[in-house]
Amino acid sequence: MRRLAKGVVLGAWLLITLFPLYWIVVTSLKPKAEIFSMPLRYWPGEVTFEHYEELFSFADFGTYLLNSLLVSLVAAGAVTVTGVLGGYVLARFSFPGRGALMLAYLVTQMIPLFIALGPLYLLMSDLDLLNRLAGLMLVYVAMLVPFATIIMRGFYERIPVALEEAAQVDGASRLTAMARVVIPVMLPGIAATYIFAFVQCWNELFLAITFIDSEDAKTIPVAMNSFITQYDIDWGSMAAATVVSVIPTLILFAAIRRYIVEGLTAGAVKG
Amino acid sequence: MSSVARPAFTGRKARFIALCLLPGVIFVAVFTYYPMIRGAVIAFQRYNLFDLTSTPFVGLENFRSVLAEDRFWTALRNTGTWVAVSLFFQFFLGFGLALLLRRQFRGRGLYQAWVFFPWAMSGFLIGLLWRWMFNGQFGVVNDLLLKAGIIDERIGFLASPGWAMTSVIVANVWYGVTFFAIMIMAALQSVPGELYEAASVDGASRLRQFWHVTLPHIRPTLALIVLLRIIWILNFPDLIYAMTGGGPAGGTDIVTTFLIQQVIGGDYGRAGAVGLLVLGLLLSFSVFYLNVTRFERSR
């Protein structure tokens, strides 16, 4: 009886969780006339890929996809390298200013960064980085460095120091010891950090819409934001765009499920 | 954990430390702290993007103009509702889910993989998803409620202020339950098994075990998770932005969507003032909260 009740509750919650995803997929596969007609059909009467085709033929979604990919790949790479270096030092050394630096990083995870949005726009304009993917990359790196450093520090602290000390006794320098002994052990954690950073860049909206408005520099969220008009949204294309942009993140997250708690604690996702 | 027998602080070591930290520090200083500080200064200036010929310091004028505006106070009230109601349901549903998933059963891993997926989506996409589902004409929520006989005619969920707030909160709860479930499961796993053994030897019922063993043990973690969550929900305009844009007539505006509107409107002076007000509010709330939950002492 108890097990049955548990099964029913868990089943109901799974249904509630998955239904919106199901609904957006179904919407993306319905012909336009069917999306906006009554009665609502819970399975498309006729499956069509016209919205996906439209996305890539009319809306130039290929360009947005490439932009998003480029920005996220590069920024996540830079963030991860920075986190690997900074996290190591914070985990292994004590030095003046260490606590202050940790605090300065943690603070950025807590306060509304939107207070910086306007001045950041001015800065980007001064540096001639508006409407440039490079500008977006720089800002994303800055946005994610604290998270990457904090999470990497946590991963290092789980590795026994004896491991590195043994390598150093053998005459290896600190950097060589790090590269040969520590990094290989850390690889899964590094990969998880990279993926967290990648997904954050991939999903980021407000900085991107502030700095980018030219067609050839738009990322996916910027493009989707411009699909929203005051009175009318083409929900077929919107649904297709949602599906396309969510597939990579779903796959990536499935790959790093083990690290989700660490990611959440360090602030990989806010909201 | 981190304390280790360390060699003396030498020049070579200092150089290594600086080298490893510098790239990150420079990025954060230039692209986060500098604009933040400039934003705080601009709060005391007349600073409009569309008229940059003169940007004089005007004292507290921006604060006065923000505080005199009804929309700001509406946004503030909405923020309270948005945070409190979302948090309440996220917490208890998440706690329930964590308790149900606590013990191993066949298919648990697969279940978790599926039920935790909303977390991989951005707030913006989730907002769009729910905007479509709550559509007044062709929305599936209306259709389901009609079919179930709960309502007699379609509701313009996102078009009426009261319903709009309910709708964005429903979407936020749907999104955030996962967070609490994950974090509380991790906290539950940190309770040492011996504690339960001792309790069951003493003949404590499961409810009493939960109340006297589990809860006291995870209380400090819970307190911290809840604080983090409050701050994040408050800083989370993405979902509202996508669902309603703060409308109708400011009915779903929260302080952060209000702030973003000021930035988009080009009035950086007022945006800075709103930012500082929010920051002050957050800080005083956090201090108050940590005092009430006595986080330090219970650690």
- As a three-state string, the secondary structure of A159-223 is CCHHHHHHHHHCCCCHHHHHHHHHHHHHHHHHHHHHHHHHHHHHHCCHHHHHHCCCHHHCCHHHH
The answer on A159 and A87 residing in a single domain is yes
The answer on A77 and A20 residing in a single domain is no
The answer on A100 and A23 residing in a single domain is no
A245 → closest Cβ in B101, B125, B143: B125
User: In this structure, what CATH number is given to the domain that contains residue B278?
Assistant: 1.10.3720.10
User: Is A216 domain-assigned?
Assistant: yes
Indicate the helix (H) or strand (E) that contains B114. Answer: helix B108-115
Looking at chain A, which residue has its C-alpha nearest residue B28? Answer: A142
Say what the pLDDT of residue A205 is.
93
User: Is A166 domain-assigned?
Assistant: yes
* SS3 category, B145: helix
The answer on A196 and A78 residing in a single domain is yes
Name beta bridge partners: B267: B48
B293: how many CB neighbours lie within 10 A of its CB?
17
Q: Which two tokens stand for residue A221?
A: 């969220």
User: Is B82 domain-assigned?
Assistant: yes
The answer on A208 and A240 residing in a single domain is yes
- Residues from chain B that touch A250, judged by Cβ atoms under 8 A, are 117, 120
- Residues from chain A that touch B107, judged by Cβ atoms under 8 A, are none
The answer on A255 and A162 residing in a single domain is yes
pLDDT tens per residue, range B102-144: 888 888 888 888 887 787 889 999 999 999 999 998 999 999 9
pLDDT tens per residue, range B24-60: 999 999 999 999 999 999 999 998 988 888 888 999 9
A108 → closest Cβ in B32, B111, B231: B32
User: Is B6 domain-assigned?
Assistant: no
The answer on B282 and B194 residing in a single domain is yes
Question: What is the rounded distance in angstroms from the CA atom of residue B79 to the CA atom of residue B72?
Answer: 10
Domain that holds residue B144: 43-298
User: Is A271 domain-assigned?
Assistant: no
The answer on B93 and B24 residing in a single domain is no
- Residues from chain B that touch A93, judged by Cβ atoms under 8 A, are 6, 13, 17
The answer on A32 and A63 residing in a single domain is no
User: Is A53 domain-assigned?
Assistant: no
Say what the pLDDT of residue B8 is.
52
The answer on A83 and A14 residing in a single domain is no
Among A166-170, A203-207, B46-50, B291-295, top mean pLDDT goes to A203-207
The answer on B125 and B17 residing in a single domain is no
B2 → closest Cβ in A24, A105, A157: A157
The answer on A169 and A85 residing in a single domain is yes
User: In this structure, what CATH number is given to the domain that contains residue A109?
Assistant: 1.10.3720.10
The answer on B156 and B292 residing in a single domain is yes
Question: What is the rounded distance in angstroms from the CA atom of residue B227 to the CA atom of residue B294?
Answer: 12
Question: What is the rounded distance in angstroms from the CA atom of residue A75 to the CA atom of residue A110?
Answer: 22
Domain count, chain A: 2
Residues in chain B: 299
Listed range (A34-38, A149-153, B22-26, B276-280) with the worst mean pLDDT: A34-38
The answer on A191 and A120 residing in a single domain is yes
Q: How big is the A-B interface in CB pairs under 8 Å?
A: 250
Domain count, chain B: 2
Pick from A232, A215, A248: nearest CA to A61: A215
Cα distance from B202 to chain A (closest Cα, Å)?
A: 24
The answer on A101 and A24 residing in a single domain is no
Interchain CB distance below 8 Å, B16 and A105 = no
The answer on B218 and B108 residing in a single domain is yes
* pLDDT interval class at A269 (50, 70, 90): low
Cα distance from B284 to chain A (closest Cα, Å)?
A: 12
DSSP sequence for B21-70: HHHHHHHHIIIIIHHHHHHHHHTTB--BTTB-S---B-TTHHHHHHHT-H
User: Is B96 domain-assigned?
Assistant: yes
In this prediction, residues B66-74 reach a mean pLDDT of 94
User: Is B77 domain-assigned?
Assistant: yes
B4 → closest Cβ in A92, A210, A228: A92
User: Is A105 domain-assigned?
Assistant: yes
Name, in order, each residue with C-beta under 8 angstroms of A233's C-beta and a sequence gap of 6 or more.
A227, B131
Chain position carrying tokens 């292994």 = A92
The answer on B65 and B18 residing in a single domain is no
User: Is B200 domain-assigned?
Assistant: yes
Yes or no: say if A249 and A195 are a contact pair by the CB < 8 Å rule: no
Domain that holds residue A44: 1-48
Interchain CB distance below 8 Å, A13 and B97 = yes
Listed range (A254-268, B262-276, B280-294) with the worst mean pLDDT: A254-268
Say what the pLDDT of residue B210 is.
85
The answer on A123 and A28 residing in a single domain is no
B253: how many CB neighbours lie within 10 A of its CB?
28
For the cut 70, the answer to whether the pLDDT of residue B240 exceeds it is yes
Looking at chain A, which residue has its C-alpha nearest residue B140? Answer: A40
Interchain CB distance below 8 Å, B28 and A16 = no
The answer on B177 and B61 residing in a single domain is yes
